[in-house]
A and B are shown apart, each in its own frame.
Chain A
Amino acid sequence: MVEVEAFIVLSAALFILGAMGVVLRRNAILVFMSVELMLNAANLALVAFAWHWGGMDGHIFVFFVITVAAAEVAVGLALIVAIFRSRQSINIDELHLMEG
């Protein structure tokens, strides 16, 4: 039987890899994918604790997180496409200057 701690450590490791992607990569789409990875790591922790405690609420929360992630992807990718149209680039280091 796998202990719940093993799942939590795995989830934390995935979360940190996602956070590293967000901070270190400069490609906006990659940053976005790293955010998805972090959301997934949090989902894994939720499901692991739901399994440990035998309650359904964790599953419901994961369900909501997946829905919100889908909405977020739709809006976020639309933003990236709009930014690409105006700046011809999705390098976020070039985008951090807020002028014009």
Chain B
Amino acid sequence: MSIEVVLFIVIGLVALFSAGMMVVVTNAVHSALYLILNFACVAFLYLLLDAPFLALVQVAVYAGAIMVLFLFVIMLLGAERTFREMRQFKWLAPLTLTLSISFFIVLFLVMDRGGMDDLTVPPDAPMLRVVNTTPDFVEADFFLNGELFAEGVPFGGTTDRHNAHFREVEPGDYTLGIAQAGGEGRPLPLGTFSIAPDEALTLLTYGIIGSGINPTFLTIPEDINYYTESGGRTVIVNAFADQPVSVVDAGSNRRLESGEAANAPLIVAGLGVGEATEMALERTGNRNWVFVDTAADGTPTDRIIGRTDQAFNIQQGHTNLFILARDRDGDTLTPVVVTVQTRTLPQFGSAEAIGQTLFTDYLLPFQLVAVLLLAAMVGAIVLTQRADIKPKPGRPTRRKVSRPLTSVIAAQTGHSIAASDDDEPQVEVPPATGD
């Protein structure tokens, strides 16, 4: 028996025991305490079910806030004292028992005959995104098997920002095509790739028409092994189409000179054309990376090819893509470092995943629930407010307010110091004699 099964049995028994005791005990305070124990057990079961966020919400909202409210009302009304449970409806108890047993019978029938075991969990739809570093296509439309996948992707940009830039596609084999945004004619085929369920791929297009390397693309799968507790996944790609490069870390130094590059800490050495390397880096402060030329034997030289255009930092739970690419400026091609920092696909059950689903697919229900909470707040106030809070007849309605200090001083000195409110008793102030 695994530890999970043991935990489930123990916690489940405690949950059942506390629920039963809650119903049975006569003292309402004891009932509330048993219910808190039951809520804590359910929170623990949520942890077993990979729902850590809901487990914490359960403890904070249910076992915390709601049960405090219950205990408060029990104490306020003195309801903890036991009163004789009247038996006006004697047929209720056997009826409840019968209904409960039939409910269980139906449940077991459903689980036995309904074929819950036959249902295999469908794999997640594959996710795809495209990063455009093809200088010939400053704004590119991407096609999968001739059908439009993403339109208007700028140079150095990715598909839309929704869901960490990934889009769901059907699994299968695809041909990726590229065309000028809004342009006529057939898209230029870049190559083929296949995508399987549960995969998440980043397609990175590079290359220049008419140069040594024609436009093609690189497939970078999302790999959860490169995510750490406090760091992010970093992918460095050489899409420069000329020679192998190395990457050195210039730290916070924006302008690293050529002579200093050899002494800077090395991130990657000898990255070939069209090659990508992945690593897990810890969270850092501001960084500047410099791409330097690399000799044939793989040692970096002093010649700087490109730099990250602004300081960046490695963030937790982000994928950082650093691509050395060529940009077209008229007829001349200049090396440019493209930085694409995106959030990772969130983990199942995490607060991030819940937040993302809540604020994209369930935004309207979320707003409605907020309105409902507001209505409940107003309703609770209206229900509990006393009707006889009106002042009793015969009593003066004006509040008795002691004379404010300022008016006392004013009366003694003969000067009006502060204008008194209408509510407060007026103080006789002698007319000012004039200054």
Residues of B within 8 A of A8 (CB): 107, 111
B376→A72 contact, CB < 8 A = yes
Distance in angstroms between the alpha carbons of A23 and B377 in the assembled complex? 28
Instruction: Please tell me if B155 contacts chain A, counting CB pairs below 8 Å.
Output: no
A98 at the interface (CB under 8 A from B): no
Q: Are A59 and B66 in contact (CB under 8 A)?
A: no
On whether the beta carbons of A54 and B348 are closer than 8 Å, the reply is yes
Given contacts A17-B23, A21-B22, A54-B124, contact A91 B86 (CB under 8 A): yes
- Give the distance in Å from the alpha carbon of A17 to the alpha carbon of B76 in the complex: 27
A24-B23, A26-B86, A66-B62 in contact; A56/B357 too (CB < 8 A)?
yes
Task: State the majority secondary structure of interface residues on A.
Answer: helix
A18 in contact with B19 (CB, 8 Å): yes
Contact assessment for B50 and A51 in the assembled complex, using a CB-CB cutoff below 8 Å:
yes
- Measured between beta carbons, the chain A residues less than 8 angstroms from B49 are 7, 47-48, 50-51
Q: Is the CB of A7 within 8 A of B23?
A: no
A10 contacts which chain B residues (CB < 8 A)? 12, 15-16, 45
Q: Mark A61-96, 1 if CB is under 8 A from B, else 0.
A: 011101111111111011111101100001101000
List, sorted by A's number, 26 A–B pairs whose CB atoms are closer than 8 Å: A1-B5, A2-B8, A2-B48, A4-B116, A10-B15, A12-B103, A13-B16, A29-B28, A32-B70, A34-B22, A44-B46, A47-B45, A51-B349, A52-B121, A53-B121, A54-B124, A59-B357, A70-B61, A71-B376, A74-B376, A75-B379, A77-B69, A78-B381, A79-B383, A84-B77, A91-B83
Q: Does B88 contact A (CB under 8 A)?
A: yes
Q: Which residues of A contact B (CB under 8 A)?
A: 1-2, 4-10, 12-14, 16-21, 23-27, 29-30, 32-34, 36-37, 40, 43-44, 47-48, 50-54, 56-57, 59-60, 62-64, 66-75, 77-82, 84-85, 90-91, 93
Q: Is the CB of A78 within 8 A of B111?
A: no
Contact B373 A71 (CB under 8 A): yes
B358 is an interface residue with CB less than 8 A from chain A: yes
CB-defined contacts of B42 to chain A, threshold 8 Å: 14, 40, 43-44
Instruction: List 8 other contacts, CB 8 Å, given A14-B19, A54-B124, A59-B357.
Output: A14-B16, A23-B95, A26-B83, A33-B22, A34-B22, A54-B348, A66-B62, A67-B373
B67-90 contact mask (Cβ, 8 Å, vs A): 1 or 0: 001100110110100010110100
With a cutoff of 8 Å between Cβ atoms, the chain B residues found around residue A6 in the complex are 8, 12
Set B12, B62, B83, B103: member contacting A40, Cβ < 8 A: B62
Cβ-defined partner of B365 (8 Å) among A64, A73, A80: A64
Residues of A within 8 Å of B48, CB to CB, are 2
Residues of B close to A43: CB separation below 8 A: 42, 58
Docked-complex contact A12 and B54, CB < 8 angstroms = no
Is B38's CB within 8 Å of the partner chain A? Answer: yes
A5, A21, A56, A93 interface centre (most CB from chain B within 10 Å): A56
Say whether B322 faces chain A, with CB atoms less than 8 Å apart.
no
Given known pairs A73-B70, A78-B384, A93-B86, the reply for A51 and B51 (CB within 8 Å) is yes
**1/0 contact trace for B266-305 toward A, CB 8 Å?**
0000000000000000000000000000000000000000
Given A10-B15, A63-B54, A67-B373, A20 contacting B107 (CB threshold 8 A): no
Instruction: Pick the contact of A64: B111, B369, B376, B380 (CB < 8 A).
Output: B369
Interface residues in B23-71 by Cβ distance below 8 A to A read 23, 28, 31-32, 35, 38-39, 42, 45-46, 48-51, 53-54, 57-58, 61-62, 65-66, 69-70
Return the chain A residue nearest B73 by Cβ. Answer: A77
**Interface footprint category on B:** 35 or more
List chain A residues, Cβ under 8 A from B361: 60
State in angstroms the CA–CA spacing of A91 and B77 once bound together: 12
Query: Cα distance A33–B74 when bound, in Å?
Result: 11
Tell me whether B93 is interfacial, beta carbon within 8 Å: yes
Contact A54 B121 (CB under 8 A): yes
Nearest CB in chain A: distance from B223 CB, A: 19
**Centre residue among B66, B121, B353, B362 by max chain A CB count within 10 A:** B66
* Interface contact B66-A29, CB-CB below 8 Å: no
Residue pair A90, B96 in contact (C-beta under 8 Å): no
Q: Quick one: given A17-B23, A25-B23, are A80 and B107 in contact (CB under 8 Å)?
A: no
Q: Is B192 an interface residue (CB 8 A)?
A: no
The 7 closest A-B pairs by CB, nearest first: A71-B376, A78-B383, A78-B380, A21-B23, A51-B49, A17-B19, A74-B380
CB-CB nearest in chain A for B57: A66
**CA separation between A27 and B85, bound complex, in Å?**
8
Chain B residue nearest in CB terms to A84: B77
- Find out whether the CB atom of A60 lies under 8 angstroms from the CB atom of B354: yes
Q: What is the chain B residue whose CB lies nearest that of A34?
A: B23
